[in-house]
Amino acid sequence: MIMRGGQQLLLPASPVFIWSSLLAALLLEMLPIGRTPWMPDFLAMVLVFWNVHQPLRIGIGLAFMFGLGVDVHQTALLGQHALSYTTLSFFATMIHRRLLWFPVPSQAVQVLPLFFAAHLVELTIRLINGDVFPGWSFLLAPIFEALLWPVVSVILLVPQRRAPDPDENRPL
Amino acid sequence: MPLGTLDRSPPPFFKQGPSALSKLILYSAMALFLMVADSRFHMAQPLRAVLATALYPVQWLALQPVRAARAVGDYFITAQQAQTQSQNAASKLAAQAARAGQVEQLSLENNRLRTLLDLREQLKVEGMAAEVLYDAADPYTRKVIISKGMSSGIALGSPVIDESGVLGQVTLVHPLVSEVTLIIDRDLAIPVLNVRTGVRSLAFGDATGGGGLELRFMGSNTDVLQGDLLTTSGVDGVYPPGLPVARIDRIERRAESAFARIHCIPLALVSGVRHVVVLKPLSSQIPPRPAETVPALPVKKGGKP
């Protein structure tokens, strides 16, 4: 097995945890907080995370399905988020072997163009469809997403960082 | 196998499935097809309804914290606020009582006059109360989701009002919820009547998405004044006549354009409304359009029959 220097060997990811994290992200996405173009897309972040860490489990097809769900919830054009998440997931799969060699802050810099591209895809589709420009604050969303990448990485890797043999001194 | 992860099963060496690029092409094509079907041919409605019903439990769960916050906020309202609110309501009621008394008498008189003049009976309007669940998060349009759907008998195209005016129109009906496009959405047009002058026109949502309305295609010499009240004109067969819609806020007459830019402010609470009434569209009560009589084609002289 190829190992990164000075990194902890991770436990296998539990499918239940992967799915519940995706569901929690969908819930966060659906919180009724109004029209805020600068709001980071939590579902996209979690999808990219699992695409990078577990590409055999969470792939492009799932991203597409979640995108359709978000479209219906937001009453957006059907297929808009599906296309943006598909693109996001494709690029995440492309860079997943390289990305994990970097420390987490550098990973955030590397995923910034991905999130930016995803938001640009949505904007382009809506402008072609003849909708109103939502204002420049939408440019903040990919930046927030990249800034939250370390947070997401820490939270979602917690169950894999537990001790493989819990005892009295290491209960978790 | 993911980097640095201890997995119990070895990764598949040869059976990798379709490549990422082919998946990207497949799913992008599907997404594009759906978008075209949705925006150009309006065929994606069944899929939307199915997905909306499947997502309803998750949506319900996501709404609970907001509902709880609202309930707590309502509980901790101060006595002073409650007194102010009740005073406001009482004064509003007193102001409306005189008019309400007049309305009874006027509608009686109106009915008599109508029978006398042999005019059509006025259309009856039925309403159904609904609660606004949430503002649609899509920043490109202006829509809200209400708590009544196909199961409560909401019809597509029904006008939606709140206590102070027209809020919008039902544009999509799901089994349990429906989607209301607000009058400030750029794609929604509403026929209005200027109460002061009686001039009819069309109000559109602000094209810049600024949250107002615009009277389009009004000549720069039209008689409009700041503060004019616009009500529904009732010529469209959707909105009942006489519902207040907006008040004119700003008029820009420019030399280079034949039209004036007339900006209006909606009277309904387009952001933060909680309770609405969905009216039945009038189109079901309107008699059908008389069949067009095809004029006989003039026979050309010397032409073959």
Residue-wise DSSP of chain B = --TTB--SSPPPSS---S-HHHHHHHHHHHHHHHHHHHHTS---HHHHHHHHHHHHHHHHHHHHHHHHHHHHHHHT--HHHHHHHHHHHHHHHHHHHHHHHHHHHHHHHHHHHHHHHTPPPPPP--EEEEEEEEE---TTS-EEEES--GGGTPPTT-EEEETTEEEEEEEEE-SS-EEEEETTSTT-EEEEEETTT--EEEEEE-TT-SS-EEE-S-BTT----TT-EEEE---SSSSPTT-EEEEEEEEE--TT-SB-EEEEEESS--SS--EEEEEPPGGGTSPPPPPPPPPPPPPPTT---
CB atoms within 10 A of CB A102: 13
ipTM value: 0.85
A56 neighbors A97 (Cβ within 8 angstroms): no
- Touching check for A38 and chain B: CB below 8 Å? no
- Residue B241 pLDDT level (bands cut at 50, 70, 90): confident
What residues of chain A lie within 8 A of the CB of B134, using their CB? 32
A96 neighbors A52 (Cβ within 8 angstroms): yes
- Touching check for A133 and chain B: CB below 8 Å? yes
Quote the pLDDT of residue A65.
93
Segment B159-189, tens digit of pLDDT: 999 888 899 999 989 888 899 999 998 888 9
DSSP, res A139: G
pTM of the model: 0.81
Average pLDDT of B273-284?
A: 84
CA nearest B39 in A: which residue? Answer: A77
CB atoms within 10 A of CB A111: 24
Q: Strands B189-194 and B213-215, how do they pair?
A: unpaired
What is the least distance, in Å, from the CA of A67 to any CA of chain B? 10
Partners of residue B194 on adjacent β-strands: B230
| Choice between B25 and B12, residue whose per-residue pLDDT is larger | B25
What residues of chain A lie within 8 A of the CB of B23, using their CB? 59-61, 90
Homologous superfamily assigned to B126-283? Rod shape-determining protein MreC, domain 1 (2.40.10.340)
What is the least distance, in Å, from the CA of A45 to any CA of chain B? 18
Looking at the partner chain, which of A30, A64, A72 has a beta carbon nearest the beta carbon of B62?
A30
Tokens 């420019």 correspond to what residue? B254
- Residue B135 pLDDT level (bands cut at 50, 70, 90): confident
Looking at the partner chain, which of A36, A72, A93 has a beta carbon nearest the beta carbon of B20?
A93
Quote the pLDDT of residue A2.
58
Contact partners, residue B111, CB within 8 Å, separation at least 6: B121, B122
DSSP, res A10: B
